Amino acid sequence: MSSAPLRSPALRPHRIKKDESLLGKLGGTLARRKAKEVSDLQEEGKNAINLPMSPASVEIYPEDTLLEENQERVVIDPTSRDDPRFRELVKVLIDWVNDVLVGERIIVKQLEEDLYDGQVLQNLLEKLADCKLNVAEVTQSEIGQKQKLQTVLQAVQELLRPHGRALQWTVDTIHGKNLVAILHLLVALAMHFRAPIRLPEHVSVQVVVIRKREGLLHSSHVTEELTTTTEMMMGRFERDAFDTLFDHAPDKLSVVRKSLITFVNKHLNKLNLEVTELETQFADGVYLVLLMGLLEGYFVPLHNFYLTPDSFDQKVHNVSFAFELMLDGGLKKPKARPEDVVNLDLKSTLRVLYNLFTKYKHLE
């Protein structure tokens, strides 16, 4: 028995329209799914960056969701950026860099934007260390910039290594405009070269570290300590009696101050001079120089120091000169820096004067 040949059903117009409608819906679904994936990825980036339990939001950049595997980005929490001590630290360092480079006609306005390519850092180090680095003067390529940074940071490492400091910056972090790394670098340079500035103490910032692992963004929250105390940053970790007095015995501290005022006035009164405030009246170095002359029994020629200093540098010169007179008199090198005395640091001034008191307290 023969069977009738199979025939395909007729493609009726309404069936064609229905198929087109299904394809359109499918295409729309795929497009929405893709858009949702992109949205979810960006939302993941936001969630990774924003600090939990914090009302402050971190500015989102496209590169946060485009990080390579194991690549990371460091973001300073906005609350830390607005902290007065952090802002003061940034301002002090910018002013210092500009003062050092004033002869080079270089003006730094924003640390991460002006220092990342190594050009300013090269000029700064050459000026501070009085050296010449063998690097290309100007380079626009990323490879050239990183090569310059490598040379500059290698020179910095050779300078700082004897002091035992852990280096908290790399070529990638500096070139990546990581402000925390740049601040660590500048603080270390300022301390090493005894910059005539006073950095705010105990400055810390909250940072968010965003890292991509297995295709997902992960965040961790870290407290970065940028400065401690001037003494610790200078490498003088040993505590002395004045640390104890300042921390635990303010009542006894006032007794020490009165004793030192009595001691210095006993000698300065011979020149019709009198001290009432230790930290301010010794800050320009004049009284220190005159006091050393009185204690050692000689007249200090006026051309050796500034009798009426009107600049920070002149005051530092005076205090430094007084320190030299102390060494000539057989005293130990003062623990304080001249810049600390000029910057009205009471603890530093008390240390210097107590050093004199222990040797000359019985001198009439």
Per-residue pLDDT of the chain (364 residues; tens, 9 = 90+): 444 444 444 444 444 454 555 445 555 555 565 555 555 555 554 444 444 434 344 454 555 556 677 777 788 888 888 999 999 999 999 999 999 998 888 899 999 999 999 999 999 999 998 888 888 777 778 888 999 999 999 998 888 764 445 678 999 999 989 999 999 999 989 888 878 788 888 899 998 888 878 778 877 888 888 988 765 565 544 445 565 655 556 667 788 888 889 999 999 999 999 999 988 999 999 999 999 999 999 999 999 999 999 988 899 899 999 999 999 988 887 877 888 888 888 888 888 988 898 888 888 7
First to last CA, the chain: 144
Question: Do 341 and 283 meet the contact criterion of CB atoms below 8 Å apart?
Answer: yes
Angle at 142 between CA 139 and CA 144, to 5 degrees: 45
- 246 and 226 in a single domain? The answer is no
- What CA–CA distances, in Å, run from 210 to 59, 63, 169? 13, 11, 17
CA dihedral 33, 35, 40, 43 (to 10 degrees): -160
Residue ending a domain, among 234, 264, 280, is 234
- 151 and 258 in a single domain? The answer is no
- 127 and 215 in a single domain? The answer is yes
Question: Do 211 and 218 meet the contact criterion of CB atoms below 8 Å apart?
Answer: yes
9 in any annotated domain = no
Residue ending a domain, among 215, 234, 253, is 234
Q: How far apart are CA 178 and CA 264, in angstroms?
A: 49
R_g over Cα of the chain: 32
51 in any annotated domain = no
- 224 and 250 in a single domain? The answer is no
Residue ending a domain, among 234, 253, 278, is 234
204 in any annotated domain = yes
The DSSP code sequence of 279-295 is: HHHTTTSHHHHHHHHHH
Range of the domain at 279: 241-361
Q: How many domains does the chain have?
A: 2
- 279 and 332 in a single domain? The answer is yes
- 211 and 251 in a single domain? The answer is no
